[in-house]
């Protein structure tokens, strides 16, 4: 098998494949389906300072274009994650790189969660979910204003020694400006893209399918958007990028990597095929051979 090892921000991954945040919770359920040690890394569910119960059901719906979800950041809070979830991973998968996903309603909450994750030994990278509403700024998402992104990045970097990856959402005027703001703030890498806001209406009830009304669209429909945005940002930065958006096949993953991603996350595809990441790891070497790529690091030569 071809070498699939990659290094992102000083963290070695045996391969570039991992589940997207929120699709594997904290690993226990996924461990019943696949061997977690086969993954390049495990990205845990976005975690907030305090427990969140999330939105009432229904929180997900499958559409003709992909999945809509509005879970509402449901999670047990950082204390339980510290005491129960991460120790379980450390005991059972001590060599598995774990990416901790940080979320919050305020800058101070982000900082506190980042501080506490900094003290968790088996977390290798912090991924900052900046698609959360900023309650101090009228509910506008943290990730849409460059000045807010830069400040939040800088303040999180001040409280952690772990690499910080800012997760960018696509609902912005210029993804390049947001990425540049994160880089000015001192981030070590980027994850992109998050979901796109959408809605589906039930023709029988005349109301939205989701209890929240709107939800984040993921799946095949957003793949070309992810390719475009990763490509644009890669032209402006040398930071490592974790690409995410509509990966179902080895070709999809290769396309995001050719656009500029160093590694990739898989989300919606797991709903229909829990083993999809293992299958991608198995088939990716032959796909590289088919397209005359000798090593995964050869892909970088096509970035500029």
In the residue annotation, 187 being an active-site residue is answered as no
Contact 22, 71 (CB under 8 A): yes
280 is annotated as contributing to ligand binding: no
Mean pLDDT of 30-37: 96
Catalytic residue among 78, 89, 128, 132: 132
Residue 140: pLDDT band by 50, 70, 90 thresholds? confident
Q: What share of the chain is helix, strand, coil (3-state, %, to 5)?
A: 35, 20, 40
Mean pLDDT of 38-58: 97
pLDDT at 139: 75
Query: 70-89, pLDDT tens digit by residue?
Result: 999 999 999 999 999 999 99
Taken in order of first residue, the domains within the chain and their CATH numbers are: 6-302 (3.20.20.70)
129 is annotated as contributing to ligand binding: yes
- What would you report as the CA-atom Rg of the chain, rounded to the nearest whole angstrom? 18
254 is annotated as contributing to ligand binding: no
pTM of the complete model: 0.97
pLDDT at 9: 98
| Three state DSSP letters for 158-172 | CCCCCCEEEEECCCC
The proportion of the chain whose per-residue pLDDT surpasses 70, expressed as a percent, equals 99
Mean pLDDT of 99-128: 98
Helix (H) or strand (E) holding 8: strand 6-8
């Amino acid at each position: 098998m071809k070498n699939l090892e990659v290094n992102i921000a000083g963290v070695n991954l045996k391969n570039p494949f991992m589940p997207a945040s929120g699709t594997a919770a904290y690993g226990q359920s996924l461990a019943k389906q696949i061997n977690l040690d086969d993954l390049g890394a495990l990205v845990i569910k976005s975690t907030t300072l305090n427990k969140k119960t999330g939105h009432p059901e229904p929180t997900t719906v499958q559409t003709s274009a992909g999945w809509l979800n509005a879970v509402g950041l449901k999670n047990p809070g950082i204390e339980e994650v510290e005491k129960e979830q991460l120790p379980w991973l450390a005991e059972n998968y001590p060599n598995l790189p774990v990416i901790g996903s940080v979320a919050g309603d305020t800058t101070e909450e982000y900082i506190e969660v980042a501080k506490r994750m900094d003290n968790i030994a088996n977390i290798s990278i912090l991924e900052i979910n900046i698609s959360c509403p900023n309650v101090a700024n009228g509910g506008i998402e943290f990730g849409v204003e460059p000045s807010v992104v830069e400040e939040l990045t800088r303040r999180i970097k001040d409280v952690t020694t772990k690499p910080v990856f800012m997760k960018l959402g696509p609902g912005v005027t210029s993804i390049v400006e947001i990425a540049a703001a994160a880089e000015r703030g001192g981030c070590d890498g980027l994850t992109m893209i998050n979901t796109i806001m959408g809605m589906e209406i039930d023709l029988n009830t005349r109301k939205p399918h989701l209890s929240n009304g709107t939800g984040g669209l993921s799946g095949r429909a957003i793949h070309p958007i992810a390719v475009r945005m990763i490509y644009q940002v890669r032209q402006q930065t040398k930071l490592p990028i974790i690409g995410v958006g509509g990966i179902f096949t080895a070709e999809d993953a290769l396309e995001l990597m050719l656009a500029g991603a160093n590694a990739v996350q898989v989300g919606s595809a797991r709903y229909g095929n829990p083993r999809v990441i293992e299958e991608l790891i198995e088939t990716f070497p032959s796909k590289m051979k088919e397209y005359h790529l000798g090593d995964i690091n050869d892909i970088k030569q096509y970035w500029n």
